[in-house]
């Protein structure tokens, strides 16, 4: 498959937030755009955009977003409005709630998978982002 200009090996084009290899973050990461993580993060990740966890990434966090791709290691739950994808190098220990799931041969998933319609997942995702900003229900 040919890559588009400025597209990396995982198909990411123009992510707004990038945590590079060798960078360690402790705390919550909240964004309204795409996030790419190649380093280490302990906390929580929330966005209405896509999340890509790179091959060398080690994440101890619950992750929510549109489409979530894991090529590294994730210990935590996933809430994806779209598709949760575990690549051949990916390792997920936690539950996945999404409208679709794809696991490449070699990818590891230890947990439960719950499939829901995208509209319901969008409500869950929006509520989580509002809660992270201090909004009251």
Residue 131 lies in a domain: no
The domain tally of the chain equals 1
Q: Rounded to the nearest 5°, which phi and psi values hold at 125? A: -65, -45
Q: Kindly report, residue by residue over 7-45, the tens digit of the pLDDT.
A: 555 555 555 788 888 998 999 999 989 999 999 999 999
**Which residues sit opposite 75 in a β-bridge?**
60, 93
**126, two tokens:** 């929006």
pLDDT grade, residue 5 (50/70/90)?
very low
Integer Cα distance of 43 and 1 in angstroms: 35
Tell me: the pLDDT tens digits for 76-133? 999 999 999 999 999 999 999 999 999 999 999 999 999 987 777 666 666 655 554 4
48 in any annotated domain = yes
Range of the domain at 88: 17-119
Closest CA to 45 of 57, 33, 28: 28
Residue 127 is assigned to a structural domain of this protein? no
Instruction: Please state the length of the chain.
Output: 137
pLDDT of res. 132: 44
Q: Name the pTM for this structure.
A: 0.79
Q: Is the pLDDT of residue 3 over 60?
A: no
């Amino acid at each position: 498959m040919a890559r588009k200009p400025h597209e990396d090996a995982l198909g990411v084009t123009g992510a707004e937030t990038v945590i590079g290899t060798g960078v360690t973050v402790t705390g919550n990461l909240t964004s309204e755009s795409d996030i790419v993580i190649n380093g280490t993060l302990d906390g929580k990740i929330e966005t209405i955009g896509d999340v890509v966890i790179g091959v060398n990434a080690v994440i101890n966090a619950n992750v929510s977003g549109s489409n979530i791709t894991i090529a590294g290691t994730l210990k935590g739950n996933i809430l994806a409005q779209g598709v949760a994808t575990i690549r051949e190098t990916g390792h997920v220990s936690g539950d996945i709630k999404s409208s679709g799931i794809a696991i490449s041969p070699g990818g590891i998933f230890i947990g439960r998978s719950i499939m829901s319609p995208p509209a319901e997942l969008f409500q869950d995702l929006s509520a989580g982002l509002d809660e992270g900003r201090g909004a009251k229900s």
